[in-house]
Amino acid sequence: MRPRCMLASMLVMAGLGSASSVASAQVPRPKAPPPPALPAPARGLPTAAEVRALGDTFVAVAEKTSPAVVQIDVTVSSGDSSAGRWFRADATTRGMGSGVIFSADGAILTNNHVIEDARAINVRLKDGRTLSARVAGRDPATDLAVLRVDATNLPVATFADSDAARVGEWVVAIGSPFGLGHTVTTGVLSAKGRGGVGMNAIEDYLQTDASINPGNSGGPLVNLDGQVLGINTMIVSKGQGIGLAVPSNIARRVATQILKTGRVMRAWIGIGIQDLTPQLAAEIPSAPTAGALVNTVVAGGPAQKAHLEPGDIVTKIGARTIADAQDVIRELFLHDDGEVLAMEVIRSGKRYQTKVTLEAKSETSPPALPVERKASSPQGLGITLRDVDGDGGSTLAQIVAVSPDSPADRAGLKRGDVVLEADFARLPSSSDVQKAAQDGRLLLRVRRDKATFYTAVR
């Protein structure tokens, strides 16, 4: 204490103030930390107004997008001539698909599997009209197809950038599950970039828990702005709440190419690739933890010209980091032949850069569907009739022959069917049916065994 007192006296005599003031000037005391903020009070349940606002958002999405969604009725001949085939989805499927209007002049985007093996395709619009559709083109590799109907000024869906979609955001699925037209279900975007399902050559799916059922295929998955994020394609039957959709960026590209050229052209670099699994990486010196392993290089192809070799590990193409083989397929799909892409590969632990010039891939067009084939009987509707005795002494028209791939065949008519009505005229004779068919279209009510049904022939 003594030295401290002597120093204080010296400081006072030197006119520097008291020891306490100097001490505070020379050795400032640390400020006490501010007290911690009180935790925010726990938020209660959403208010009724907030719940109504969310509900109004879903209503707005449905009202905006539903007019551009169509129900697709497909007639598929299974070769089953029994009466019950008209009530089974595997014989004549009606209302088991959906689609979204892509352009105001009648282009409709849907799934390829919706129209596969179709003999007749009809599209039902939101305004109640039913129009005959033809196939503009299809791409089995992405399970997409484009239909055409003769109509103009149709409501058109707006497509979003699926790459910008965020996992966890609200989404809405619109379609015709089990033929229940314009059904709206909600959920969230569960994941992006799903692949490896093994259903199609190109897989880059959006995953959602919005309820999707048979008949939703081809319909849109939309965001809360009413913009199409994807085309609903399939459900994972072993689980619940797992639906997959083709991203809008892929769907839009496919539809645009089909409408422009009638087919989809894909770029090619001439390599075979596989996932770099942990087991493979453990055996390759200095291998990265992810990438696509090149197992084949086609002689004379773009990859060989870019000096790629089997054993190279592709880690980047352009701006995309490559995690697996599916990433390479996804990235190449988004580019055209003639484009030059920068590639990053790892070879023997060293990282290399190269550039590859994409070339057009030679692909055969998918085979024509029955609905695309020319009718074997170009004149008439393709049916041969005879008169048979009906109840009470009446005369009825019975079908004795149906020309393959004719309008009658595509409408599902079979040898032995009895015509009960032709364009609402009851109990017509063969000549009555022929007169009704002179305008090239016919609405028939037909009896087959113990079943009765309507069908349209055009």
Q: Characterize the bridge pairing of strands 120-124 and 107-111.
A: unpaired
Residue 372 DSSP symbol: G
Helix (H, G, I), strand (E, B) or coil at 139: strand
Q: What tokens appear for 304 in the block?
A: 């060989």
275 counts as catalytic? no
388 vs 429: CA distance, rounded Å: 9
Active-site choice (143, 312, 405, 417): 143
Active-site choice (176, 217, 248, 377): 217
The position carrying tokens 């001539």 is 81
Reference 266, options 362, 341, 200, 339; nearest CA is: 362
217 counts as catalytic? yes
Given a contact cutoff of 8 angstroms between Cβ atoms, the answer to whether 100 and 155 are in contact is no
Helix (H, G, I), strand (E, B) or coil at 454: strand
Phi, psi angle pair for 160, to nearest 5°: -90, 170
Active-site choice (77, 98, 113, 176): 113
Q: Report helix angle 19-26 to 2-13, nearest 10.
A: 100
Given a contact cutoff of 8 angstroms between Cβ atoms, the answer to whether 417 and 404 are in contact is no
Total residue length of the chain: 458
113 counts as catalytic? yes
Euclidean distance between the first and the last CA atom of the chain, given in angstroms as a whole number: 115
246 vs 194: CA distance, rounded Å: 10
Given a contact cutoff of 8 angstroms between Cβ atoms, the answer to whether 86 and 451 are in contact is yes
Question: Which segments of 128-278 are extended strands (E)?
Answer: 130-139, 144-149, 170-175, 183-194, 205-208, 220-222, 228-235, 243-247, 267-268, 271-275
Q: Characterize the bridge pairing of strands 359-360 and 220-222.
A: unpaired
Q: Which amino acid is at 421?
A: E
Q: Which residues are catalytic?
A: 113, 143, 217
